[in-house]
Amino acid sequence: MNKTPIWKRNLHVSAVSVFLAGIAFSEVTPFLSLYIDTLGKFSHQELSFWSGAVFSAVYVVAALVSPIWGRLADKKGRKPMILRASLGMAIVFALMGLAQNVWQLLFLRGMQGVFAGFISNSSALVATETPKHKSGKALGIMSSCATGGQLLGPFAGGALSQAFSYRVTFFITGSLLFICFILSIFFIHETDFVPVKEEKRGSAADVIKQFRSGQLILGLLLTTLIIQAANNSINPIVSLYVRSLMHGHGQVVFVSGVIAALPGIATVAAASYFGGLGDRIGTHKIILGGLIGSIILFFLTAFVQNTVELGICRFLIGFTDACLFPQVQTMLTKNSPRELTSRVFSWNQSAMYIGNIAGPVIGSTVSAHLGYNAVFLVTSGIVVINLLLYRTNILKNLAPNAA
């Protein structure tokens, strides 16, 4: 009887783990600000400040430390990094449920950033263990599972916090991440890891020189940053845009939640398909189509007249997302030396975190000065710049067999 190949078993277990991790990471989002409000007596302005600081602390710290963990992964392996991230965050989330003041919570959110990297390291392990000609579909599955978990998380977190309490929900979240740790330690096997030699573990500039085209790698990282910023630029104003389209009447919160979830639903449905298609026709073509589609859809969203039209545009944006994030990871895999995959994925993770930070700042600033519609026009313009850079930095430097 044929045994399941190790790479397939790694993919199956990793897919389940990143799904659970996706739930855990987004589970506290619906009530985090409310939890902060229970930790002291804050004015409206103070509560807004602390909410922003606590939310962003994870991304700021993670953007700084991800390259460090990526370098260590090249030396020690991806599995140790997976175990480090899952166990560390399981403990940190449980401790958040014991926080007595907002300073403690802020510190623990920063520590969450220190231990970040579970999904990126799981993806890196799958990317290196999977045959190159199947890596697109495998990473599409990973992206679908992570996105699916992140979609389900807010619903689960809202239900759990209502049924129990904010603090108990943090303990449950920590338990989910501990399950990821158990699954990883017993069922994930890294078979072909070879530590990167000391002379290859130099600075980022030294590592870039080891690629056939450092400009291509930098271009892909810039694509991740810009698309992440573009997608997140509208997050601060989605509910406000919905309220303006509904003229302040109706179930604005419910409709906003549905519209916010639509891109993720489309991404879950399509990521694996586009990954497999990219393996056949070229990943670079899928990314190109995703960028063009994003430009058109962001532009059209600025002119919608009702929430139905907005929902359609946001749902279609999810398909362009499926053409971008997992496909960028696939191209990084195909154009990176196997032993440097973790390092490159850590850079990509940092680019995502920087985009997470920059996007809301752009959206809030533009909407404050030019209105909600302008956010989508500016975002469309940002993706146009990304498309031009993609043609310059990536398509012109692409190896024939690494597309």
pLDDT at position 208 is: 56
CA dist 399 and 337 (Å) reads 13
pLDDT at position 352 is: 85
Q: How many CA atoms lie within 13 A of 165 on its CB side?
A: 6
pLDDT at position 364 is: 75
pLDDT at position 210 is: 57
Q: Which two tokens stand for residue 291?
A: 């960028």
pLDDT at position 402 is: 53
Question: Is residue 264 pLDDT above 70, yes or no?
Answer: yes
Which of 7-11, 64-68, 146-150, 252-256 has the highest average model confidence (pLDDT)?
7-11
Identify the DSSP state of 2. P
pLDDT at position 305 is: 92
Identify the DSSP state of 306. S
Determine the topology of domain 203-403 in CATH: Growth Hormone; Chain: A; (1.20.1250)
CB 266 within 8 A of CB 396: no
CA dist 92 and 220 (Å) reads 32
Question: Does this chain's domain 1-195 share its CATH topology with 203-403?
Answer: yes
Question: Is residue 199 pLDDT above 60, yes or no?
Answer: no
Using CB atoms within 10 Å of the CB of residue 153, give its burial: 0 to 12 exposed, 13 to 18 middle, 19+ buried: buried
pLDDT at position 254 is: 72
Average pLDDT, the chain: 84
pLDDT per position as a tens digit, 305-325: 999 999 999 999 989 988 988
CB 83 within 8 A of CB 181: yes
pLDDT at position 1 is: 42
pLDDT at position 24 is: 93
Identify the CA nearest to 319 among candidates 144, 145, 150, 146: 144
CB 90 within 8 A of CB 181: yes
pLDDT at position 315 is: 92
Range 68-86 average pLDDT:
88
String of DSSP letters for 123-140: HHHHHHHS-GGGHHHHHH
pLDDT at position 184 is: 95
pLDDT per position as a tens digit, 173-184: 999 999 999 999
The more confidently predicted of residues 155 and 321 is 321
CA dist 360 and 160 (Å) reads 28
Q: Give the start-to-end residue ranges of the domains of the chain.
A: 1-195, 203-403
pLDDT per position as a tens digit, 8-25: 999 999 999 999 999 998
Q: How many CA atoms lie within 13 A of 290 on its CB side?
A: 28
Which of 11-15, 272-276, 336-340 has the highest average model confidence (pLDDT)?
11-15
Q: Which CATH code is given to the segment(s) 1-195?
A: 1.20.1250.20
How many whole angstroms from its chain centre is CA 70?
16
String of DSSP letters for 25-75: HHHTGGGHHHHHHTTS---HHHHHHHHHHHHHHHHHHHHHHHHHHHHHHHH
Range 118-131 average pLDDT:
88
Residue 339 binned pLDDT confidence (cut-offs 50, 70, 90): low
pLDDT per position as a tens digit, 341-398: 777 777 888 888 888 888 877 887 788 788 888 889 999 999 999 898 888 777 666 6
